[in-house]
Structure 1
């Protein structure tokens, strides 16, 4: 089948490790064998994430697992004709509990098992939720990673209430655009930072109340910061919080080792530092319901056919995308 896959690992030039072509999953030497009772989904749309670039660099994907089909997000159709979204968190069979992200042995599709950037993907039946007719396949494919991450950060982890002020570090990525739209709809005052005036202004047109240059002192402190950048913005995030405020961190795209840990400020203010990763299937179901009832829709930067996945990856790697980059069959 046609797939976009990591043929090898290249820490310095991730796109050099990307191949687009025929790959039979059954012949893949790496990863884990797909259980026979998993359900096959014909992929109609799949969204790219920075996770895919990290995989090509060997983050979470060892060389021995290559070739590995990339991709976490998908929406498609089962053999029974059901239109579905794929929840990408794969739990260990022994795990029990309501929060799938608490499983220390969990993985995402494309880490141990083939991912979604292919004509077909196989997943546990329990990882499927119904795609409502109100959402296109491309829109639905944007939800399981970036939008679910933003939803959990805001509504499960942060403790924010309507009227509070939230700062999102960075403007324009999939998680950032989701945070702006969800937070504005929830009645929060929404601020963003950006190194680009054009992207900051686009975030304001999307729904942010204001944007500020990255690292600039804010006019007042905020109740919470949504952090996905990491080292480059960590000190600014800590210094931007009110006493008792929270920084919710879901990623470290600029690196995981900040110049200063800011520990004194964290315990003296005191501040809360909350880790957040992906979300549960129940949260994904609630997110889908929220979009149906409110009319909110993901921002899609661009759409490519699967055969042009290399161009889609180049768009993602360039940092120029505003919203999600999608591979779609429709």
Structure 2
């Protein structure tokens, strides 16, 4: 079957170790199911895999990809939940311990198949399991954002942050979002948020801060949280050791909450929200699987706004 996989590691030039070609057909274990992939979405995680982050040489070649939607063994339309427990009892996402989704077929535990709502296309559904699920959990389960609440999204333009802008608006909250890029601020404002420069003073202190940037924005995040506010962290692209003002933290009774991904049940709730409200993931490009290298090149360029999706029917 066709697949995209890492053949080696190269931190300086990750695309040089990307191969598009034939891979063995998946052999499911008991309780596992094979999905015919109709669409997969790329993440920066795929580029990190090519750089050698989270993989060992003895695992190569490794099929890339965390996100996919397709047809389950019973003919139903499904979305693949990407978190799988390993034989050791810990867990990882697809393409770390088990082969990933940028292939004609992928095998996962049957528990990982979540029914796809008819309202969502395969391309739209494939965007959800990693970035969108993370953003949804940050806002709801961890952030406890209420319909009339307020949220600050740091570094909008990235996958999780942009999803949080759209989801926060759909949940009925007042959404503020920062970006260093004026063009991205303009696009974020068109999605319903109040877009501001990093470090800018907000009209109000917020209930929830969505933090994926880390050191560069964390002080601002703490200043913007109201008494009892929640700062929910799922990334640290600018550094993972920010200074934390403990006096502000205990005086305002702030919560700093870590999170990662979500559950299959939360993925189902997320898709139900999209089906109900009509909001959809922002897709930068849909590229035929036959041109998969072009999709990786586009992601690597950084010149994208939204998800890069592979159409496996082409």
When normalised by structure 1's length, the TM-score is: 0.88
User: Which of 192, 198, 210 is residue 207 of structure 1 equivalent to?
Assistant: 192
Structure 1 alignment gaps of length 5 or more: 27-32, 96-104
CA RMSD of aligned residues (A): 2.0
CA contact (8 A) 1:160 1:224 kept: yes
In structure 1, distance between residues paired with 2:28 and 2:14 = 26
Residue 238 of structure 1 and its aligned partner are, at CA, apart by 1.9
User: Which of 202, 206, 210 is residue 218 of structure 1 equivalent to?
Assistant: 202
CA contact (8 A) 1:173 1:321 kept: no
In structure 1, distance between residues paired with 2:250 and 2:58 = 42
In structure 2, distance between residues paired with 1:130 and 1:189 = 31
Aligned length: 313
CA contact (8 A) 2:25 2:105 kept: no
Query: Does 2:250 align with 1:267?
Result: yes
Task: Spell out, residue by residue over 1:301-326, the C-alpha distance to the aligned partner (whole angstroms, 9 max, x if none).
Answer: 11112232222122222322111111
Query: Does 2:127 align with 1:133?
Result: no
CA contact (8 A) 2:284 2:305 kept: yes
CA contact (8 A) 2:86 2:97 kept: no
Query: Does 2:180 align with 1:195?
Result: yes
User: Which of 263, 270, 285 is residue 280 of structure 1 equivalent to?
Assistant: 263
| Secondary structure of 1:74 counterpart | strand
Change (3 A) 1:94 1:53: closer
Task: Spell out, residue by residue over 1:268-324, the C-alpha distance to the aligned partner (whole angstroms, 9 max, x if none).
Answer: 433211011111011111111111122121111111122322221222223221111
In structure 1, distance between residues paired with 2:79 and 2:134 = 15
Change (3 A) 1:112 1:93: closer
Q: Which residue is 2:42 aligned to?
A: 48
Residue 202 of structure 1 and its aligned partner are, at CA, apart by 0.6
In structure 1, distance between residues paired with 2:75 and 2:209 = 42
Query: Does 2:104 align with 1:110?
Result: no
Q: Which residue is 2:70 aligned to?
A: 76
Residue 37 of structure 1 and its aligned partner are, at CA, apart by 4.2
Alignment of 1:164-179 (within 5 A): 164-179=149-164
Query: Does 2:217 align with 1:233?
Result: yes
CA contact (8 A) 1:34 1:113 kept: no
Residue 5 of structure 1 and its aligned partner are, at CA, apart by 1.1
In structure 2, distance between residues paired with 1:162 and 1:290 = 13
Residue 162 of structure 1 and its aligned partner are, at CA, apart by 2.1
In structure 2, distance between residues paired with 1:111 and 1:36 = 21
Change (3 A) 1:19 1:234: farther
Alignment of 1:242-257 (within 5 A): 242-257=226-241
Task: Spell out, residue by residue over 1:127-146, the C-alpha distance to the aligned partner (whole angstroms, 9 max, x if none).
Answer: 10111221110011011111
